[in-house]
Amino acid sequence: MEMQRYIGQRVEIMYMNKKGAFTQRFIEVRSIKNNYVCAYCFTQKGLRVFKQENILAIAPEKRWSV
């Protein structure tokens, strides 16, 4: 998955956490380093770090209701 092109963009992701639970997140990608995606998470209302390998799907979000 080519994450670099999403830096600075708001996207919707499907994510699997370390316990195996699936969540839908709305994030703004800030940076990518060593297979980790640093982003502002609108779902959790704060900065979060996501393992790139645990991002199962990603799509640019066209409409925001934050």
Instruction: State how far the alpha carbon of 19 is from the alpha carbons of 5, 33, 54, in Å.
Output: 28, 23, 11
Name the pTM for this structure: 0.84
**φ/ψ (deg, to 5) at 12:** -110, 135
> For residue 34, is it within any domain?
yes
> For residue 56, is it within any domain?
yes
Task: Provide mean pLDDT across the span 39-57.
Answer: 96
> For residue 17, is it within any domain?
yes
Which one has a higher pLDDT value, 2 or 59? 59
> For residue 65, is it within any domain?
no
The pLDDT, as a whole number, for residue 61 is 81
> For residue 50, is it within any domain?
yes
> What gap in Å lies between CA 38 and CA 30, rounded to an integer?
6
Domain count for the chain, please give it: 1
The pLDDT, as a whole number, for residue 65 is 55
* Residue 27's pLDDT band (cuts 50, 70, 90): very high
**φ/ψ (deg, to 5) at 51:** -70, 125
